[in-house]
């Protein structure tokens, strides 16, 4: 993956190359002779500069920067034009040392003025100014790019998190469906055992007794048989009744889970708990229950951390278009609430189903989760 | 067209989040009520919409144009009536309006005419030469409104314009809000008095802790918390009450009878008061009083947040 600073470094290299080409061009056109030494120094200068951008470690970079300045100064004796290469280096040096550029780097860039021959003075100042503007603009652009980059990174993180949460929710739904079936089966078998099982057993006993009595005392036997018929009828009636009253099991599961968790909590900590609910609980789907429970757990954690509470009440209410779940403690509350990860987590959880979370600290601490639903 | 569109607006003061990822849109021609307790973030939101505060995050558009990019346009389109009076005590009523309308860009004869018109509108034309020092609280509020409406803005934002005034001025202001709306302005009205909001607003957003927790018309908001209304009938005696027949009337859910009162809970959308009363009269029950109670916006807020709108 490309770092955002690559682009600006390329632009810096381009700028330096342009300067170098300019000075070399000037030297070629002037009368001063081109010695092999000159060519060697130009090549050396080129390679140190490339090295500068390849290195990552600050101290090495510093060394290389000083080295290329040294080479430039060495060439200065015969080719005074080389001095024009210095501003860019001095700027970079300043940025290594000072971090913030501006006045420091512009002062540093003015030092070589002491060496510059009179006829080059104006050109030097011009180049220095251009360099300063060019590099500062690059720096600005660089910072902006870096800001956008980190923002992008953050947003990707957020997306990832939301995605994971969604997947968790889907997984939970699948599991909930399965558990639902299991629990339903258990409940049915319990009911069959409790009601119909007992009825059938007692009917059976009476019929067996009747069978033995039928020859000795037929009146008594027919009484017993009547009884058995009556019990069997009642049994059938109770099967019908059980099937009819069968509640949608999500409600029982949700409420039971809440109770279980709240009981566990009050066993562990010296805090009184009260769980109440009103309205038609059938409208709360497993995924809603999960969000309500997770937010309740989070609210409990918060309460244990900050509130200094001795009692907490949990209320789940199904309104015509909204499900409302509130966890309220009797602690000292808090005037202005600073959102931590806990609250943000609750908000995100609720947001996956279009819900909202209100945290209030005016009377104790309360967390209200509002979830819309379609009846 | 959306007169005002707020997208995921957030305002933080240090670590504290005053407005929390708030989105809403106000359609042209509405009287939009912004209801919430003190400190809920109403004024902070309004101040961002009027460019008095900068947003930490989010976007605000007036008639489809971003308010930071088109700040001049936004300022001319909005008339803002602030919660704290913004009038000069040492300038006459007319000079005040003249000054503010001038700030909004009106000039010359048009400026003079508009200033007088605005003063007439709020009923202060005959006091245009007086200084606000001599005004009552209600008159100052009205002058405050005149200063904001002289340039005939498309969108008028009023931040708690009835705080601390007498009932008469209050009625006057509520009526002028309606009149301004009829003459073509969209109004955003913030208040923590739910009766006012209930009375004049066509669309309402309930805000708490910097978030919008419910939005819609009055009826829609009430439908969130209940689909029942209560009919309470006082009678001389409930002896001859036709219980079963009452329960069979369309919409009626439960009937409770005490010695002299009958409480009927009924579906809110069905108007069945007439058949109920006819039945009672026909059965010889003597009626002494009838009261039908629908939930108020206060109840909506209470049900959703567990708190009341006013400070206790």
Residue A5's pLDDT band (cuts 50, 70, 90)? low
Taking residues A274-298, report their average pLDDT: 88
Whether the predicted pLDDT of B217 surpasses 90 = yes
Taking residues A329-339, report their average pLDDT: 82
| Confidence at residue B312, expressed as pLDDT on a 0 to 100 scale | 44
Whether the predicted pLDDT of A85 surpasses 50 = yes
Largest CA distance in chain A: 148
Taking residues A352-357, report their average pLDDT: 90
Cβ count near A191 (within 10 Å): 18
Mutation test of the interface with chain A: which of B304, B310, B311, B312, choosing the one with the most A Cβ atoms within 10 A?
A: B304
- Cβ atoms of B125 and B143 within 8 Å: the answer is no
Task: List, in sequence order, every beta strand (DSSP E) within chain A.
Answer: 272-278, 311-318, 322-329, 356-360, 366-372
Whether the predicted pLDDT of B303 surpasses 60 = yes
Does the distance separating the beta carbons of B226 and A319 come in below 8 Å?
yes
Does the distance separating the beta carbons of B226 and A358 come in below 8 Å?
no
Quick check: A276 contacting B, CB < 8 Å?
no
Q: Is ipTM beyond 0.85?
A: no
Give B13-29 pLDDT, tens digit per residue. Answer: 988 899 999 999 999 99
| Confidence at residue A251, expressed as pLDDT on a 0 to 100 scale | 61
Quick check: A358 contacting B, CB < 8 Å?
yes
Give A86-141 pLDDT, tens digit per residue. Answer: 788 777 777 766 655 567 777 777 777 777 777 778 888 888 888 888 888 888 88
Distance from the Cα of B146 to chain A's closest Cα (Å) equals 36
Please give the residue of chain A at the shortest CA–CA distance from B267: A320
Whether the predicted pLDDT of B34 surpasses 60 = yes
Whether the predicted pLDDT of A243 surpasses 60 = yes
Please give the residue of chain B at the shortest CA–CA distance from A338: B16
Nearest-angstrom CA–CA distance, B171 and A119: 84
Q: Across all residues in chain A, what is the average pLDDT?
A: 82
Share of chain B above pLDDT 90, in %: 52
Mutation test of the interface with chain B: which of A327, A340, A362, choosing the one with the most B Cβ atoms within 10 A?
A: A362
| Confidence at residue B268, expressed as pLDDT on a 0 to 100 scale | 81
Half-sphere exposure for A139 (CA within 13 Å, toward CB): 13
Taking residues A299-312, report their average pLDDT: 83
Mutation test of the interface with chain A: which of B24, B209, B295, B310, choosing the one with the most A Cβ atoms within 10 A?
A: B209
Contacts of A370 in chain B (CB under 8 A): 213, 304
Residue A249's pLDDT band (cuts 50, 70, 90)? low
Quick check: A339 contacting B, CB < 8 Å?
yes
Least CB–CB distance from A358: residue in B16, B303, B305: B305
Q: Which of A199-203, A222-226, A324-328 comes out lowest in average pLDDT?
A: A199-203
Whether the predicted pLDDT of B148 surpasses 90 = yes
Does the distance separating the beta carbons of B227 and A320 come in below 8 Å?
yes
- Cβ atoms of B145 and B122 within 8 Å: the answer is yes
> Hey, what's the torsion of the CAs at B177, B182, B185, B186, to 10 degrees?
70
Taking residues A202-231, report their average pLDDT: 88
Least CB–CB distance from A370: residue in B15, B213, B226: B213
Mutation test of the interface with chain B: which of A336, A354, A366, choosing the one with the most B Cβ atoms within 10 A?
A: A336
Sheet holding B252-257, edge to edge: B252-257, B261-267, B228-235, B287-293
What residues are paired with A371 via a beta bridge? A323
Does the distance separating the beta carbons of A358 and B208 come in below 8 Å?
yes
Least CB–CB distance from B16: residue in A319, A338, A356: A338
Nearest-angstrom CA–CA distance, B301 and B192: 11
Whether the predicted pLDDT of A371 surpasses 90 = yes
Please give the residue of chain A at the shortest CA–CA distance from B16: A338
| Confidence at residue B311, expressed as pLDDT on a 0 to 100 scale | 56
Mutation test of the interface with chain B: which of A320, A335, A367, choosing the one with the most B Cβ atoms within 10 A?
A: A320
Nearest-angstrom CA–CA distance, A247 and A92: 76
Taking residues B257-285, report their average pLDDT: 87
pTM reported for the whole predicted model: 0.67
| Confidence at residue B91, expressed as pLDDT on a 0 to 100 scale | 94
Nearest-angstrom CA–CA distance, A218 and A253: 52
Contacts of A325 in chain B (CB under 8 A): none
Terminal alpha carbon distance of chain A:
49
B158-190 as b/e: b if 16+ CB within 10 A: bbbbbeebeeebbebbbebbeebbeeebbbbbb
Share of chain B above pLDDT 70, in %: 99
Nearest-angstrom CA–CA distance, B258 and B231: 14
Does the distance separating the beta carbons of A363 and B307 come in below 8 Å?
yes
Residue A31's pLDDT band (cuts 50, 70, 90)? low
| Confidence at residue A266, expressed as pLDDT on a 0 to 100 scale | 86
Least CB–CB distance from B307: residue in A321, A322, A360: A360
Contacts of A358 in chain B (CB under 8 A): 208-209, 211, 213, 305
| Confidence at residue B211, expressed as pLDDT on a 0 to 100 scale | 93
Cβ-based contacts under 8 A for chains A and B: 47
Q: Across all residues in chain B, what is the average pLDDT?
A: 90
| Confidence at residue A99, expressed as pLDDT on a 0 to 100 scale | 58
| Confidence at residue A32, expressed as pLDDT on a 0 to 100 scale | 63
Quick check: A247 contacting B, CB < 8 Å?
no
Nearest-angstrom CA–CA distance, B312 and B298: 14
Between A239 and B254, name the one with better pLDDT: B254
Between B97 and B226, name the one with better pLDDT: B97
| Confidence at residue A2, expressed as pLDDT on a 0 to 100 scale | 40
| Confidence at residue B194, expressed as pLDDT on a 0 to 100 scale | 85
* Domains in chain B, CATH or no CATH each: 2-223 (3.40.50.300), 227-294 (3.30.70.980)
Distance from the Cα of B221 to chain A's closest Cα (Å) equals 10
Cβ contacts of residue B198 below 8 Å, gap of 6+?
B218, B296, B297
| Confidence at residue A246, expressed as pLDDT on a 0 to 100 scale | 61
Residue A1's pLDDT band (cuts 50, 70, 90)? very low
Q: Which of A29-38, A231-240, B170-179, B267-276 comes out lowest in average pLDDT?
A: A29-38
Share of chain A above pLDDT 70, in %: 92
Cβ count near B29 (within 10 Å): 14
Residue A45's pLDDT band (cuts 50, 70, 90)? confident
Chain B residues in contact with chain A using a Cβ-Cβ cutoff of 8 Å: 15-17, 20, 208-209, 211, 213, 223-227, 303-307
Give B48-104 pLDDT, tens digit per residue. Answer: 999 999 999 999 999 999 999 998 899 889 999 998 888 999 999 999 999 999 988
| Confidence at residue A33, expressed as pLDDT on a 0 to 100 scale | 66
Please give the residue of chain A at the shortest CA–CA distance from B14: A338
Please give the residue of chain A at the shortest CA–CA distance from B213: A356
């Amino acid at each position: 993956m490309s770092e955002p600073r690559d682009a600006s470094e390329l632009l810096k290299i381009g700028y330096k190359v342009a300067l170098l080409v300019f000075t070399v061009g000037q030297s070629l056109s002037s009368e001063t002779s081109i010695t092999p030494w000159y060519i060697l120094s130009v090549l050396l200068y080129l390679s140190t500069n490339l090295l500068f951008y390849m290195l990552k470690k600050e101290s090495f970079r510093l060394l290389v920067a000083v080295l290329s300045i040294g080479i430039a100064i060495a060439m200065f004796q015969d080719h005074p034009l080389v001095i024009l290469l210095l501003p860019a280096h001095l700027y970079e040096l300043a940025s290594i040392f000072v971090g913030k550029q501006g006045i420091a780097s512009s002062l540093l860039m003015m030092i070589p003025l002491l060496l510059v021959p009179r006829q080059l003075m104006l050109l030097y100042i011009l180049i220095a100014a251009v360099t300063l503007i060019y590099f500062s603009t690059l720096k600005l652009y660089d910072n902006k790019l870096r800001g956008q980059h980190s923002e992008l990174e953050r947003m990707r993180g957020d997306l990832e998190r939301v995605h994971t949460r969604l997947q968790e929710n889907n997984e939970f739904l699948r599991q909930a469906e399965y558990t639902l079936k299991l629990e339903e089966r258990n409940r049915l078998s319990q009911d069959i055992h409790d009601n119909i099982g007992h009825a059938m057993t007692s009917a059976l006993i009476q019929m067996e007794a009747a069978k033995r009595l039928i020859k000795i005392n037929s009146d008594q036997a027919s009484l017993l048989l009547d009884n058995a018929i009556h019990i069997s009828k009642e049994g059938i009636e109770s099967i019908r009744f059980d099937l009819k009253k069968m509640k949608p099991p999500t409600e029982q599961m949700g409420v039971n889970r809440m109770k279980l968790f709240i009981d566990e909590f009050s066993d562990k900590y010296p805090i009184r708990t009260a769980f109440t609910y009103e309205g038609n609980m059938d409208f709360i789907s497993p995924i809603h229950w999960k969000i309500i429970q997770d937010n309740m757990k989070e609210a409990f954690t918060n309460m244990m951390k900050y509130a200094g509470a001795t009692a907490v009440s949990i209320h789940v209410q199904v309104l015509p278009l909204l499900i409302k779940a509130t966890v309220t403690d009797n602690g000292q509350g808090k005037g202005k609430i600073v959102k931590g990860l806990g609250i943000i987590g609750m908000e995100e959880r609720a947001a996956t189903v279009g819900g909202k979370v209100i945290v209030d600290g005016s009377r104790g601490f309360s967390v209200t989760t509002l979830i819309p639903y379609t009846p | 067209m959306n007169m005002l569109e707020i997208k995921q607006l957030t305002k933080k003061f240090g670590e504290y989040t005053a407005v929390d990822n708030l989105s809403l849109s106000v359609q042209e021609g509405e009287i939009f009520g912004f209801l919430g307790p003190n400190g809920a973030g109403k004024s902070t939101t309004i101040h961002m919409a009027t460019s008095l505060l900068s947003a930490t995050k989010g976007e605000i558009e007036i008639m489809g144009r971003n308010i930071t990019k088109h700040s001049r346009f936004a300022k001319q389109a909005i008339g803002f009536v602030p919660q704290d009076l913004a009038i000069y005590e040492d300038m006459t009523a007319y000079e005040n309006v003249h000054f503010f309308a001038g700030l909004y860009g009106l000039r010359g004869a048009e400026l003079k005419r508009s200033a007088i018109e605005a003063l007439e509108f709020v009923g202060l034309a005959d006091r245009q030469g007086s200084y606000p020092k001599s005004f009552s609280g209600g008159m100052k509020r009205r002058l405050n409104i005149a200063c904001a409406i002289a340039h005939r803005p498309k969108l008028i934002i009023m931040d708690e314009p009835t705080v601390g005034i007498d009932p008469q001025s209050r009625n006057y202001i509520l009526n002028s809000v309606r009149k301004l709306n009829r003459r073509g302005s969209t109004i955003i009205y913030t208040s923590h008095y739910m009766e006012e909001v209930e009375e004049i607003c066509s669309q309402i957003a309930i805000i708490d802790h910097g978030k919008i927790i419910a939005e819609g018309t009055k009826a829609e908001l009430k439908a969130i918390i209940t689909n029942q209304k209560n009919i309470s009938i006082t009678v001389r005696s409930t002896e001859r009450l036709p219980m079963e027949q009452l329960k069979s009337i369309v919409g009626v859910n439960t009937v409770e009878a005490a010695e002299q009162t009958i409480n009927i809970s009924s579906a809110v959308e069905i108007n069945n008061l007439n058949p109920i009363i006819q039945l009672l009269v026909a059965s010889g029950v003597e009626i002494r009083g009838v009261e039908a109670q629908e939930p108020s916006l206060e109840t909506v807020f209470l049900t959703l947040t567990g708190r009341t709108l006013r400070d206790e």
